[in-house]
Amino acid sequence: MGPQGVGKGTQAARLAEVFGIVAISTGDIFRANIKDNTELGTTAKAYIEKGDLVPDEVTNAMVHDRLGDEDVKAGFLLDGYPRNAAQVAELDTALASFGWELDGVIELTAERDVLIERLTKRAHDEGREDDTPEGIARRLDIYYTETAPLTEAYAARGLLAKVDGVGEISEVTDRIVATLAAQLG
């Protein structure tokens, strides 16, 4: 978990490699569906462009479906999900239905001005449609109001590893791996 621009996608891909598991990014799945003009993509597009969350029933069904795939059985990491309280509850239900439990939750942190700087650069480099000044502000607001408070519940369950997301990419990966080992065993 972590705000837009903190490096979730980058670190998720690296951690997937370190641990030999798959990274499941809800944002990437939505973007691939938009690119392929699927029904899911058409539904998600309007929300994503505005910086709003895609409705829970759509997102939850998509994640549940992905968790049923064969490659997930060896382990997985979720990037960008859950993002609100309803998704936390749905994830617990979905995991229970497969007989699984979360091993840990990583929270990556950075100050808002660092995030805006990174997202503005990404808008320039990658041309993501939702990286407009309004989209960036909207997504950060949603993160701080809806998503950030969820980390407390995971901390109370003894699952949270909080890691500073500012630094060299490899440094942050090392920090995450070390924090997971120290806090979650």
CA 16 to chain centroid, in Å, comes to 13
Helices (H), the chain: 8-19, 26-35, 39-50, 56-67, 85-98, 112-126, 133-142, 150-156, 169-184
Our answer to whether residue 157 is catalytic in this structure is: no
x/- map, 156-175, ligand AMP, by CB under 6 A? --------------------
Our answer to whether residue 8 is catalytic in this structure is: yes
**Only segment of 49-57, 101-109, 111-119, 165-173 that touches ligand AMP (CB under 6 A):** 49-57
User: 172 φ, ψ to 5°?
Assistant: -65, -40
By CB under 6 A, tell whether 76 contacts ligand AMP: no
Interface with ligand AMP (CB under 6 A), residue from 1, 15, 66, 83: 83
Our answer to whether residue 122 is catalytic in this structure is: yes
Our answer to whether residue 138 is catalytic in this structure is: no
Measure the CA dihedral 142/171/176/140, to 10°. 0
Residue 134, both tokens? 């309004």
By CB under 6 A, tell whether 151 contacts ligand AMP: no
Interface with ligand AMP (CB under 6 A), residue from 2, 4, 143, 180: 4
By CB under 6 A, tell whether 30 contacts ligand AMP: yes
CB-based contacts of 86, cutoff 8 Å, min separation 6: 56, 60
Closest C-alpha among 132, 171, 116, 157 to residue 4 = 116
Our answer to whether residue 35 is catalytic in this structure is: no
Q: Looking at the annotation, which residues are catalytic?
A: 8, 83, 122, 128, 139
What is the contact surface with ligand AMP in residues (CB under 6 A)?
Answer: 4, 26-27, 30, 47-48, 51-54, 59, 80-81, 83, 87, 130, 139
